[in-house]
Structures are given as C-alpha cells and as structure tokens.
Structure 1
Amino acid sequence: MSRKKNSRQWARLRILCSGGLHLMTIIPDALELVRELIPNSASQLFLHAPRAADEDMQEATVLGVLPPPNGYFYGDAANFGVVAPGVSQAQARARASHVLEVQLGSSAAPFGTVTLLREEGPAFDRDDEEDLGRVANYFDYALRNADSAGAGMSGTIEDEAMLLATLGGDILFLSDSAGALLDLLASQEQQVFDRRTLPPFCLRLVESVVHGERYPWRLPAGTLDLAGGVLEARAQWMSSGSQDVLHHRTVGIFLKYVVPMPLRIWRALGSVELSPQQMEVAFWMGLGGGREAARSRMDVSDAVLRDCVKAVYEKFGCTSEAGLLAILRPTVSRM
C-alpha cells in the first residue's frame, strides 16, 4: 500500500515515547499517530502484568489483597475488534478482514502485543509490517525507560472524584466521576467494575488506613497509569470511633486524574507547524532546563539549535523562554 512517509508524525511519535511516561499513559495519543502512519480501522494494545517481587506478594498475602494491575488492555475503536470480558482474542480478530500484530519486548521477556485491524480495503503489506516494527521499537523504549507513575512529575488535574466505603470494601457512596475513573481502570484490566464493592487498587488503600499503625511504611496513597493520564488516589478516615467499634468506621477515597506535564507539552506542540528538529527542541525546553536541556538531548550544533529556538519563538508568538513556557506549561499541580 503505497503512501508518503510522514517524517513529522514519526518525529512526534518518537518524542512522545521519550518523555519518561508509561506506555499506557501515552497510548491514546500514540495510536492516533499510528493510524495516520499505518492506516487501520482499529488498534489494540495488550500489556502483561508486571511480575510482583516476593516482598510485594508476601505483603499482599498479609493484607488479603492482590496488587494491581492484572495487565493492561487498550483499544481505540469501540465495538470493533475489541476484546470484552468473555470474548476471546480469536473471536475479536474474526471481526476484522485483515490483522497485523507485533510483539513488544523480546521473545524471552515479552511485554505484550500491538495489533492493528483493518475492516475493509487491501491487506496489510510489507511496508506496513516494517512500520509497525518501528512503532514497536518506540513502544519498547517507552516501557523500558518509563518513570514510576507520577514520580517527580507535575501535571494538570483534569478530574477529581471521591467515594466512601466500609472497611470490608462495600461502597457506600460513589460519585459519577469516581465511577467513570474506576470503569476506565477496569476496562484496562479487561474486567467489569462492580459498583457495590471496591476494586483491588482502592481496597489496598483501605487496608493501608486500617493497618496504618501495624504497617507504617504503607502510605494510604498511590498512583496508577491510566489511558491518557495518571490516577492519583489517597484514603483517610471519614468517621471517628474507638478501636472497639472499628468495623463501623467509614473510609473516604479521593481520586484525581492528572495529565503529566510531558504529555501536556507534547499535545501543545501539535498546535503549530514545526519541523522535527524544532519540535524536539521545543519539547525539551518545555520540560525545563532551557536550551541546555535540548542541547544535552540532541546531537545538533549551536548554530542549528539557535535557529530552531528562533523558529519556535516565532511560531508560538513569543520572544523568550519564559514566554514559551507560559504557553506550553499551564497551571500545574504536583502529582
């Protein structure tokens, strides 16, 4: 299938995968680019669950809960080739006329798979296979070089929510926003969120509150990578009571859906026409450190860097690094 190679979109994908974010956080944006680079009707990402250390497993046994996630799934097209609970991958593929798949990671240590489906039109060809292999290399890099969720990053809060639960995990109150966030988490684990009981992630937070004195190293807070952002959660007591009536107490869980700053900056760069070099310079400058940050990340001469910075300022309508940061970095909240 002959098509013009889009160097600007390839550069955007490479930059997106180099910002230190987990692949699940960037995957909605990444698959939008993949659709432009390799025309398809639907895309899917499966990631295997990371293996828990023996220490984590022992702790989980003590607290009676399992550490999430159970694995990740993301599909960018509803009702087409999407694997829902109880539907096998084979059944999902049967809905597509053409399927192209590549493994992430090595055969000895696979991370997961990326699958493209085409409902109609010509079959995927050798160029498509080569391009998907290139995509997989970028995705592998993102997985290998991702920081832990929210580690040292700032971001913008796009949604806040709360729920109330008993110590046994029964939900007493669930806001619409909290339900939507937990639905998203459940869909990534290919499960269905039962709105009457807490999912494992929230249950661990409740256990952290209940056993706070017994396990002081377990803070009642945590983060998880979600499609397009990071879920930040914390738990606290919502009703008073002595240890004798502990089972009557209520725990509140407060959720925030945060878009990390690297992703916000990357999205802002798509609003203007930049060359691949200019885009990369602007991205690293936006993350902080100015020209030196870009120089340390890129193999360019001082003259080329100077020209790129000048072009970036002109295209964003600013005259200084401070002006550029004001455009690329909206008001932030620490994750």
Structure 2
Amino acid sequence: MSKKEVLHILGEKVGLGESAKVSFNVAKLHTQNTIDVPVIIERSKKPGPTVLITAGIHGDEVNGVEIVRQIIAKGINKPKKGTIICIPVINVFGFIHMDREFPDGRDLNRVFPGIKGGSLASRVAFKLVTEILPHADLVLDFHTGGAGRFNSAQIRVIKEEKSLNELAQIFGAPFVLYTKNIKKSFRSTCHKLGIPILLYEGGKSFHIDHHITNTGVNGAKRVLHHLGMLGSKFKVSEPKKSCVNILQSKWIRASYSGMFKSSVSINSEVKKGDVLGHITDPYGSFNHFVKAPNNGYIFNVNESPIIYQGDAIFHITTKTES
C-alpha cells in the first residue's frame, strides 16, 4: 500500500477497508493505573474524506457522548468512502468523576492547542491537535449546555465561513448560532489550522434528552450523506422545521433571587411582554413575572429551581434570518 492508503495514527497503521480501535494514552492515575481513551476508526476500501467525530471535551456533557455512542452503535461510522474517526469521550477524567474540568482544575476547551510539557489538560490538547487532528478534513464536535441551562439543538459557526454555513444548513438543527471563536478553544484551533468544524450544542449537563440525541445523530447522517460517505442502508430525513439563523441574541438575567420556574418551552417563539417564567420565595409572599424584552425565540432555558440575582435564565434571539 502507498502512504496515502495507510493511516498512521497514534503509532498504529490502518489500511483502506480496515477497522481499528487504537488507544489515545492520556496519562496515569495517581494509583499508576493507565487511562486510555478509545479512538474508533472505520475506513472504507474506497478513498475519500476523513471526518473526525468528537464529544466529551467537558466531562459533564454526557448527551454529546450519547450521540457519538449511537453513531458507533448503529454503524453510521462505517463509511461508504473515506474514513471516520470517533472519539466519544475526550475528557475521560471528568467523565469518570462527573466533573466538567480536568483534575488539574483546567477547562480543556480553554487550553488548545496545548503544550507538550504543560498541565495535564494542556498535554491532552497537544496530543489531540498534533496526533489526531491533522488527519481530519472535517470535525463534528458535540457539546451540551452547562450549569443546569438547557440549550436548544444548535450549530455554532462563524458567519463569514461560507462552506461551514452550507454544512450547518445541511446538518438541519433548529438553530444556527453565529458566534466568534473563543480564544484557546478546540474550534478556534481547528479554524487556525484550516480544518472546518461544526460545533453542536444541545441539552444540559448530566442529562440525556431523546430529542437532542436524535437531532445530533440525524444531523451527522445528513452531513455524511452530503459528503457521499453515509452507508446505503441508512435513510436521511428532512428536518421537521426550517433552520433559524441567529444573528444576534442576549441573555435575560434574574432581577431577584428565589425559586424559579419557566413557563415557556425551549424553541418557543415569543412576543415582547409575554410571561416567560416566575421567580418566587419559599413563603408565598413574592411572585415576580419574567417577561420577554423583545420578540424572538427562546433557545436556552435555565432549569435550576433555585436562582440568584443576576443568573442567566433565558437566552433570546434579538435578530434572526431564515
């Protein structure tokens, strides 16, 4: 086989038409037990693009992990052409301990591209960027809302990237949120390396939602179908609703501390002045109505029953296009 026909990754060689599970050796625990993150590789006999599918950059974002798990379990990751590399749990330390960060207290998604001799999180970022990412022609990265805030299913891209905009529409999530890349994030690093990435957000931490999972799996299938990589046994469905592109948005924050209950569901289209929820006290003497400051869509809802003054409780669009 020529060099193009053999994938050299993490010290292993994987030829066309071959499957492999290789170890992304992260580090050892303080007990000297090794921690290996499985990297699942499926290659078609027919050459084509390489798609990297990742989740679990934050250890508490289990819904993203579930999406990648289903992609593997259903065989969606077995391409008709090209190569699909799946890493369901990157931050296995956080996943084990049910924690967002690494044991060193660092957010993995704020230390990219990493340093070879840096902190634990930085070393993992460096290894991912140097040994796995260079093989990718496209990245699908699955995330989940944090801190009890439930995110609508959404794709996040930079508006100026036309090719990614096209893929975002093909993915078919209810919303596309145009946001700038965050410094030292995985998405920012991919952008600097010229590797297109679709970042999917949906649901909330430590929670698996059936609708969010289905939207993520179906979106991945649509993108793979568009690339000519999806197996012929899989059907591709049209999105139930047309995508709303969010140009501008803002957080509605709590004016008071207290017990909180939302009265609108995620994805709701609301009018200015509509009641979105209530903030009360435990004694039945206080009831504050949270109202919409403008017309828009609610694409994030805080599901925590107890909130403090200043907490973000709703994310509402202020400017959209269809």
Structure showing greater radius of gyration is 1
Higher relative contact order (CA 8 A, sep 6+): 1
Q: Name the structure where strand makes up a greater proportion of residues.
A: 2
Relative to the length of structure 2, the TM-score reads 0.31
Normalised by the size of structure 1, how large is the TM-score?
0.30
The structure richer in helix per residue is: 1
